Amino acid sequence: MPRWAIAWFGLCLCLHLPARAADAPPPPARPELAAPERALLVAGGAERWISAADAVAGGYTLVDLGDDWTPYIFQEVTDGNGNLMANRYRQVYLGLANDSGDRDGQPLAENDHNYLELFGVPPTLSVIRARFLDSKERAQTCSGVDFEKLRLAVSIPPRTSKAEAKVAAKIAATAKKLELLRQRAQVESLEQLAEKDPKLAKDIAEVQRYSAQRGSFPEVEKRLTCEGIFGPETKHVAGQFDDAMREAIIRFQHKHMLYDAAALRPDTMAALGRPLLDNDYAALVRVLTERVVSAANILEDGSTDTKKGPATYVNSAGVTVPIRNLVAEAVQATLQQLGLGDTAAALAFFERHPAADFKQLRVAIKLLPPPEYYQPNMELSVVIDRGDVFYDPLFDEVTGKAIPQTRHHFPSLTLRTKWKDKWIPLNRWRTTIGGWRSDLASNGHEYYRYKGSDVGPRVWRNIVSGPVWIAPNSTPVRTLVKWKKVHGTTQQVVNYDEVGPGYLSAYGLVAAYNVVPGKNGKPDWDNGVRVHGSSEILSIRNPDAYSHGCHRLMNNLAVRMFSFVLRHRPVIVEGDKPLDFARQFLFKEDVFEMRLPSRGFHYRLEPPVAVSVLEGNIIGKVKKPIGSYMPKAGVVYPPGPPPSPKDTPESRAGGGQ
């Protein structure tokens, strides 16, 4: 967490938080207790093991930092008879978080790492501990990196060697011209030349920017090498932005939860310009955030703030007060009370505690009481604003030119709670809506089809952890196959990443069904639209990207929100839903068989949570969705009109991705 953020949070605490009664003396030390019965407490700067039961009785919150922690949606539950209701994905999740298993549930290759924070699976504290100790050992290896040069280059364009040579020649010519002009002007530097002749400022800035970029690129290579991102077998050509470099950048970004899409953009360059341990500390704060949010059972993260400041509500005393950033409060309290305020303190913590301590580790943290609108059973509702909506085709049918569909008002999802007859927003996060997507027609050709997002009142009755997406027949078959190394040989296999369960699946780690509730004994009407986690990060962040009709969320945020909903509403745990689905399909010259034994682990909300999907701002010439197929530009189709799309929930929403 940046120091300015910590200071700001501290200011908020002084201004807005309720007073807390004087703390009672901390519970006595109980070092003899076994791991399941104890908790770690830091009092007066000294650590002590105390009774977990005493901590709870004393008003502490127990934060689980153990290796067997999962988010609430994957936690083990029992039925009314005390029988375990197994969640199929729990063990896979634990393997991913502990760097012991891959996404198919198989053992992870030796010395490999998952780096899945970006996809909703944060590493365990044991993994973070190993990362800290490894970075300390690598400090000498990284001593040859010029971090100042890395910080000078804000970004580096990903050019091919041919394009780079062309740009280099152009810059060299410009630099030569500017040097002659500098000598004629009798000034000592290009900066002085720019002051004397402002018309040359643009060319001078371009030359200096290129110089910083080229000076930084060798440092990027050294930085990726010393961190171990470039392995000994990496086939990278020094000085080139080749495939090996792109793969290394992606791996670096995944490790440090960056969203820069295989490019050396500002966030990635900033991370490269920081010492290894500083990046590890940022990862520790992110991991602690998910653990603390789960333990405190909170959601408010400041996302409902506006340019004017936090949103407000009227408390029971009739006073208008700001909505607190409970996540920031809890994280700051945890860092402060555990003495983890900076990188050096965190390293000392991990050096002080052996790996065995993190197998079953809980810490006792004193948190401020939640707002008064927090209740065991909270009335919740959801508003989905579709933002700017385009129904126009992607290409002009006559000219074949692309029609721009860049949005400025983005889709958002807001979860609210009702208190004293007023709705209080808890979070507001970017999401997605449907648009024009590829669809396989009955004639075997791909067309564009508009796969929109329903408008109007809906409900969440079912929430599924580890959900499975059943690909409709209209799904392009090429997406159902992937390459994977099996027993040392790379071969094509069924792409279960696409269907799930898993963080890469169409529904991500958790999904809720948007349905119209049935009336007079009739079942709910399901149009295949979901609110779900997603690994398609750029579709959520990119102003030009769309879903297949569903409302996607970052996986970690979806897990956080749905865990909160399940813990604040009456829930019927239905458990694993058997499916026994099988499908054979032909891809090129090979036959593949897909088998899905389960639909996922189901929770049922009774009563359901109300959802309102707003129409948004309709932009463009077309004011209603086009129901027919639209040909793709440059594709040769058979004579005659395209076939009519099949009108099913799966085909309309593409299965709801």
- Quick one: pLDDT at residue 647? 55
Q: What six digits make up the tokens of 457?
A: 């009142």
- What is d(CA 210, CA 499) in angstroms, rounded to the nearest whole number? 44
330-360: string of b/e by CB count within 10 Å (b at 16+)?
A: bbbbbbebbebeebeebbebbeeeeeebbeb
Neighbouring CB atoms inside 10 A of 422's CB total 11
Name the 3-class secondary structure at 608. strand
Only one residue has tokens 């948007």, namely 514
Position 651 scores a pLDDT of 44
Q: Mind giving me the DSSP string for 225-283?
A: HHTTSS-TT----TT---HHHHHHHHHHHHHTT--S-SSB-HHHHHHHTS-HHHHHHHH
**How far is residue 110's CA from residue 71's CA, in Å, rounded to a whole number?**
26
Nearest in space to 633 (alpha carbons), one of 370, 446, 486:
446
How far is C-alpha 406 from the geometric centre of its chain's CA atoms?
22
Give the strand pairing for 481-486 and 84-85. unpaired
What are the CA-CA distances from residue 184 to residues 181, 188, 196, 207, 573 (Å)?
5, 11, 12, 19, 81
DSSP-derived pairing of the beta strands 456-465 and 446-451: unpaired
Q: What is the pTM of this model?
A: 0.89
* pLDDT at residue 649 in the model: 47
pLDDT for 315 equals 95
pLDDT for res 403:
85
Cα–Cα distance for residue pair 531/117, rounded to 1 Å: 20
Nearest to residue 564, comparing CAs of 71, 43, 16, 28? 71
Residue whose token pair is 């990196």 = 145
Instruction: Give dist(CA 29, CA 422) in Å, integer.
Output: 46
Distance between CA atoms of 532 and 120, rounded to whole angstroms?
Answer: 12
* H/E segment holding residue 203: helix 201-226
Token pair, residue 411, equals 């889709």
Q: In 17-61, where does DSSP find H-type helix? A: 52-57
Strand locations in 517-636, DSSP E? 525-534, 551-554, 571-587, 590-614, 617-619
> What totals of helices (H) and strands (E) does the chain contain, helices first?
17, 23
Rounded CA-CA distance 237/167 in Å is 19
127: Cβ contacts below 8 Å, ≥ 6 apart: 97, 98, 99, 113
Angle (CA) 69 73 74, round 5°: 50
The CA distance from 122 to 104, in Å, is: 17
CA distances (Å), origin 178, targets 85, 189, 193, 619 = 73, 10, 9, 47
Please state, in angstroms and rounded to a whole number, the distance separating the CA atoms of residues 21 and 379: 29
Question: Mean pLDDT by 10-residue block, N- to C-terminus, for the chain (657 residues)?
Answer: 37 41 78 95 94 96 97 91 90 96 87 93 98 95 92 88 88 93 92 92 92 90 94 84 92 94 91 96 98 98 95 95 98 97 97 95 97 95 97 84 87 97 97 92 89 95 94 81 81 87 94 93 92 93 90 97 97 92 89 91 96 96 91 86 68 49
Residue 410: φ, ψ to 5°? -90, 155
Q: Between β-strands 617-619 and 388-390, what pairing exists: parallel, antiparallel or unpaired?
A: parallel
